[in-house]
Structure formats: structure tokens, C-alpha cells
Amino acid sequence: MPIYPGSVDAAGQRATLGVLGGGQLGRMFVHAAQRLGYFTAVLDPDAQSPAGLVSHHHIRTSYDDPTGLAQLAQLCQAITTEFENVPALVLQTLAQTRPVAPGAGAVGIAQNRIEEKAHFAACAAVSGVTCGPYAVIETPTQLQAVQADRADLLPGILKTARMGYDGKGQVRVRTAAELAAAWTALGGVACVLEKMLPLTAECSVLVARGWDGQVVSFAPQRNVHVDGILAVTHAYEDNLPPVLATRAREAAVSIAQHLGYVGVLCIEFFVVDDGSAHGGLVVNEMAPRPHNSGHYTLDACDASQFDLQVHAMAGLPLPQPRHHSPAIMLNLLGEVWFDANGQLQEPDWQGVLSLPGTHLHLYGKLDARPGRKMGHLTITGPDVAGVKTVARRAADLLGLPGLDAI
């Protein structure tokens, strides 16, 4: 440590970085690592995985396959993950022989909303920001107690403790009866009930922390979700009140430090109407990896979130990224590839790419499906007004939701 790009060890093996997971985040990690001069290895069972298709090595096994994991450890000098639902035990096993960032402990917390909220509460004294009111429901007795004593949490959102993302594993409930029905519909698994808050905005902060404790971060980005999936990210100065932006950034760094985190971490926040001039800040959840809301950094910053992911895991210095251009990122889901009658169509790339400051990123996925993340479009420019004008035009050409939020 550190692992220098382009280096060759005594056995003649070139410096290789590995990633568990072959989706679009893995693909962009691979591109960043290769640009620096590293070889890359991807472990993913899908022969057509976006990251596997562009990597030097593609190990096609399940994430807990002993043979595949041994091969990954043999090939790589350091290993990361592109998604939080890789078994934490796998990361723990790999860490016995190789540097793994992020570690199993941090990923394990992010995999379980109950543990995640407990961690945020423990950090609150230092971070100055905590999560909203909630209750844990793991048993019928806890359900009954919440129904009887926690009417203040209704209306609320019932979320499964594990495996929920992009709006999955979540049910809005207004009454005690609806809560009971929702818990049954979710299979009676461990859940958290979160009080619905009067949101005025959502934002996220990306933090990178190295093995030596060095921390850098990006300014907060403001996010707009449609049906639980990110649709638009606003990344430019004053996209949030400066007081809130500073608090969010400091809180995210504090949470990463409290975890002893290594790698790129995304912390998502709610901005709530609490009667103050700028609103209050509530931490929502964390993602132990690069994040959809940070994709704009590829085009609007001199170091992207994926560059920092590579630097952190390899033990290289972490440059403080410079945000050089206002940007708006538009998520491209599978719906873009279908017309109003449900027939496949080619999106209007001619029209979109003729617009100034457009940067198209498609993820190499072969089949478009509704709700599937197929790519993103980032618009950059010299001023915010111009970026918004182009973003609205691009969203209109592609029939994207969230047009009124640009």
C-alpha cells in the first residue's frame, strides 16, 4: 500500500483492482481505473454484465462462490463493491487476504435500515443531524405496540429493513389498519415505520475517505425522485440554501469519519419544513458506494466520484474535486425506448446530442425494460439558466418525467 497504477510485482502481475458487481456503477469504476492504468477484474454471474463486458477479467460466478472469490483475490491487489447488497460476509472473507474498501462493517450497516438508523442516531451528537421519527417492527407484538402507542408516526412509510431500493419494499400507510395490512403484504419481515415528513427538497452528499483518514467531499446535489427513482439531479452553486448545504456536507463527513469508512460514501438527506427560514435537515439513508446522484461529476468536475473511488481503495492521495461547471443530470430509464403504444423506438439522440453541453452515458445494457436504469444525460454550461433551458429541451425530446422540476 499504496498500489500504484501500471506497476508490476515480482511475479510479473500487473496492478489490478477488483469490483464485486457488474452493473453500471461497476462499469464506470472500471473505466476510471483503466484510465489511470490499472488492470481490472469484475465478479458478476451475468455474462453480459455492463462492467464485465469492458473489464480485463470477468469472473462469472455468484457473489458467494468460493472458487470465484479465490480467483478474484488472486488477481487483485484491492477490491471494492458496486452495490450494497453483496453479502457482508463475502467482504469479510476477502479482507483476510486483500484490502477491501468499503469494509464489511460499513456495508452491513447500510444493508439493514434498523442498524443504519441506529448508527445515524449515534452520530447525531457529532454530526448535528439525525434521522426522522421511526419505529422498528419485527414481531406482531411490536406491530401492536406501534398501533397502540405511536399514532404520531402515521401517516408514514413502512420499509423493509433489507433489500429495498429505488422505491421497492416500501408502502405508504395512513392508518393503523393499513399498517397491519402492509406489514402482512411485505411478508411480516423486519421493517421500519418512518413518519412522513413535510419535505421541501431532497439532497445528497458524496464523501471519499482514504485508508489514512484523509477526507474530501463534493458540494451537496439537490435530487428529484419520481415514483421512488431518481429522475433529476441539480448540481450547481446555491441549489440549496448555503446554511443547509454546509450542514449537510459537514454531517456527511462526520458520518464517514464515525464509521472509519474507506471509499466513496453517499449520504442522502431530507429538507423538511420546520418553520425556520431555510428548513431543517434530516438524514435519510446512506449508500456505501458511488451513487446515481453523483454521475454528473464525470462531466462537471475535474475528479469524478469514480476517480475518488479508485484513489481511495488504492491508497493514492485524494484530490479535493473542483466543480467547474453548473450541471443537471437526467436519469434515462427503459421507458425512453418505448413509444406511447408500448412499441420499441430509438430515442431522439439526434435532437438531444445537437443541444449544447449534452453528455450522454449509456450503460451497455442490451434490453430496455420499464424502470431499468439504462443511462444518464448530463447537461453542463457556463451558467445555470442556460443549463436549465437545455435540460428542459432534452427532457421534452426524450419524454422524461420531472420536467416541471428542472
| 188 annotated among ligand-binding-site residues | no
| 386 annotated among ligand-binding-site residues | no
- Distances in Å between the alpha carbon of 288 and those of 45, 102, 181, 296? 21, 7, 32, 18
| 284 annotated among ligand-binding-site residues | yes
| 164 annotated among ligand-binding-site residues | yes
| 275 annotated among ligand-binding-site residues | no
| 147 annotated among ligand-binding-site residues | no
| 82 annotated among ligand-binding-site residues | no
User: Helix, strand, coil: what percent of the chain each, to 5?
Assistant: 35, 25, 40
| 112 annotated among ligand-binding-site residues | no
Sheet arrangement for strand 191-195: 134-137, 191-195, 156-160, 170-173
| 273 annotated among ligand-binding-site residues | no
> How many CB atoms within 10 Å of residue 121?
13
Of 65, 66, 93, whose CA–CA distance to 79 is shortest? 93
| 374 annotated among ligand-binding-site residues | no
| 222 annotated among ligand-binding-site residues | no
| 237 annotated among ligand-binding-site residues | no
| 197 annotated among ligand-binding-site residues | yes
| 115 annotated among ligand-binding-site residues | no
- Alpha carbon distance, N-terminus to C-terminus of the chain: 44
On the 0-12 / 13-18 / 19+ scale of CB atoms within 10 A, 277 is exposed
For residue 292, the 8-state DSSP code is: G
| 285 annotated among ligand-binding-site residues | yes
Please spell the DSSP secondary structure of 11-39, one letter per residue: TSPBPEEEEE--SHHHHHHHHHHHHHT-E
Q: Of all helices (H) and strands (E), which one includes residue 61?
A: none
Find out whether the peptide bond into 241 is cis, omega within 30 degrees of 0.
Answer: no
For residue 219, the 8-state DSSP code is: P
Q: Are strands 16-20 and 78-81 parallel, antiparallel or unpaired?
A: parallel
Q: Which residues are annotated as a binding site for ATP?
A: 113, 159, 164-170, 194-197, 202, 225, 284-285
Q: Which residues are annotated as a binding site?
A: 113, 159, 164-170, 194-197, 202, 225, 284-285
